[in-house]
Amino acid sequence: MDKQIEIVEIDSIEVNPFQPRTDSFEIEKLKEMAQTIKQVGLIHPPLVRRVSENLYELIAGERRFRAAKLAGLKKIPVLVRDATDSQSSLSALVENIQRIDLNPIELAKALKNISTGSNLTQEELGLAVGLKRSTIANHLRLLSLPTKVQEALISNHITLGHAKVILSIENQKDRLILLKIILSSSLNVRETEKKAERLKNKTLKSAMKPIRNIFIEQIKEILQNKMGTKVEFVGDEKKGSICLHYYSLSDLNRLLHELGYSEE
């Protein structure tokens, strides 16, 4: 994979289809870079690979390439390197990570594309791009979030910290509910964690609905008459629990006595 500098027609260069960055480049920053290029030239040549005799594909340096076009350059210097699709994809990802150019969802999608398009394990991919295996795994999990949550993360309406808390909730519907609460109440991550715990507890309680079964209802009536208090069955026909209500300390002692409990 030796590199060599060539001067090529700017129109002979195609944008890297593996470019992980999907949001638009900020035009004002491109204009500033274009002005600099007009004054001092393109000091750092973009990295390309040769596709055919007169066609090149951009591997890294898309912002510089776009700024050079904006500056009106017809020819630019480029670093030409032989590279496979997988190597080109990896190079584009590494450059963007190093420049902190990607939002979390773009990074997650890029990592997924590379991991499915190559034989690299998460550990090997982590070594290649300079990220921990756990970081890669956590980013890939972001892709399981509802689209609205991903969009909120991309648009910076929520942070990566918020997204991780939302991931702690299994139900997609509840994830969307939590997102709505975060946005409407401008919750920070710590406040979001508390809301998530309440939401999980509420979901757990709703899952343990009172049993509706004729046999169980008969047992409940017998127990209520015997114990002299309200009795509830929660769960389902396979498993659950029985709840005996008490309304004072003496009432609790009476129930314990009925159940055969003795302090002796």
Q: Hey, what are 33's tokens?
A: 């870079």
User: 179 with 149: CB under 8 angstroms?
Assistant: yes
Instruction: State the angle between helix axes of 85-98 and 122-129 in degrees (0 to 180), rounded to the nearest 10.
Output: 60
Q: Hey, what are 178's tokens?
A: 């939590």
Q: Give me the residue label for tokens 């343990």.
A: 208
Give the C-alpha separation, 31 to 42, whole Å. 14
- Active-site residue, 32 included: no
Residue 169 identity: I
Q: Hey, what are 225's tokens?
A: 């008459």
Neighbours of 71 (CB within 10 A): 20
Give the C-alpha separation, 252 to 239, whole Å. 25
- The active-site residue, picked from 57, 62, 95, 106, is 62
Catalytic (active-site) positions: 62
